[in-house]
């Protein structure tokens, strides 16, 4: 058969031989990424509705800090990010073998992304404009990439997790650039909502062997509640007697999505350390 095919065609076919090594879930994941990429590239442009110019219900300053609650409510992102990175560092110190390497790499990316999310969001809310909005979204793109990669490690395969995170990371930053330069928010919407839709679909699958036990349903639930607070920004502000806005609560709830990841790491810490109570106590 190979003798009947011209060499250029053989080379092209050989380039796709790696597809045969993918299992059913990995092929499904690849198809999902291709579909989302095509949607972002081929669908009609969607004008950015504009979150520039501080269209937020709570514009109060505090001791000279503009938009104080919308700024300060980002601190939990940084706190969870630092907490997660410290836990991962301790994990690397205490464990030498049997590490789910790709899942841990994705966790590092996720927690680092939380710190960048806090920095970008604070930068934006201090004085909202288009450039600062791009910085805000870029931080979120890093955290999204880490979360998607971790979810893929849990429900598809370890080997697919890091490539998935890299793809999501590149797509997120490209989407931010397109939105900033051309005012087309569609690619960013695909990254944000398509990515969470992917996580939702992964939550319906059984965990793979060696999964760390990340509760994806909890992550998705917290994300959904955060989006509801965001949409009800002014309504929440009025309902609370102008004490706190929906946008500020959105930051707090969205930061809480890091808790299921921390819990998954803690459970994985404890599993191989049961024979060593002193080391297990150090990870608590």
Would you place residue 90 in the very low, low, confident or very high pLDDT band (cuts 50, 70, 90)? confident
Question: Rounded distance, CA 81 to CA 78, Å?
Answer: 5
> Is the pLDDT reported for residue 6 higher than 70?
no
Structure tokens at 17: 């031989």
| CATH class of the domain at 24-283 | mainly alpha
What average pLDDT does the chain have? Answer: 86
pTM, entire model = 0.86
Residue 197 sits at φ, ψ, to 5 deg, of -65, -40
Q: Residues 152, 202: contact at Cβ < 8 Å? A: yes
Nearest one of 150, 146, 163, 167 to 77, comparing CA atoms? 146
Q: What pLDDT shows up at residue 10?
A: 42
Residue with more model confidence, 117 or 271:
117
> Is the pLDDT reported for residue 161 higher than 50?
yes
Residue with more model confidence, 121 or 283:
121
State mean pLDDT over 33-38.
96
């Amino acid at each position: 058969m190979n003798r009947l095919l011209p060499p250029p065609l053989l080379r092209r076919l050989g380039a796709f031989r790696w597809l045969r090594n993918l299992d059913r879930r990995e092929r499904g994941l690849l198809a999902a990424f291709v579909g989302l990429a095509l949607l972002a590239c081929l669908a009609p442009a969607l004008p950015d509705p504009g979150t520039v110019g501080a269209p937020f219900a709570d514009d109060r300053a505090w001791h000279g800090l503009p938009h104080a609650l919308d700024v300060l409510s980002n601190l939990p992102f940084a706190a969870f990010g630092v907490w997660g990175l410290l836990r991962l560092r301790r994990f690397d110190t205490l464990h030498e073998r049997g590490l789910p390497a790709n899942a841990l790499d994705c966790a590092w990316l996720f927690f680092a992304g939380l710190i960048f999310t806090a920095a970008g969001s604070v930068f934006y809310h201090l004085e909202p404009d288009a450039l600062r909005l791009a910085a805000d979204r870029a931080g979120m793109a890093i955290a999204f990439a880490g979360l998607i990669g971790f979810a893929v490690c849990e429900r598809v395969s370890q080997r697919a997790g890091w490539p998935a995170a890299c793809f999501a990371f590149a797509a997120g930053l490209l989407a931010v650039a397109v939105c900033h330069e051309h005012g087309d928010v569609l690619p960013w919407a695909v990254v944000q909502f398509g990515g969470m839709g992917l996580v939702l679909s992964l939550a319906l699958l059984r965990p793979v062997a060696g999964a760390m036990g990340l509760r994806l349903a909890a992550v998705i639930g917290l994300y959904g509640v955060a989006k509801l607070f965001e949409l009800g920004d002014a309504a929440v502000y009025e309902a609370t007697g102008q004490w706190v806005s929906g946008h500020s609560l959105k930051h707090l709830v969205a930061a809480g999505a890091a808790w299921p990841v921390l819990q998954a790491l803690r459970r994985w810490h404890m599993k191989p350390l049961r024979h060593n109570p002193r080391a297990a106590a150090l990870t608590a």
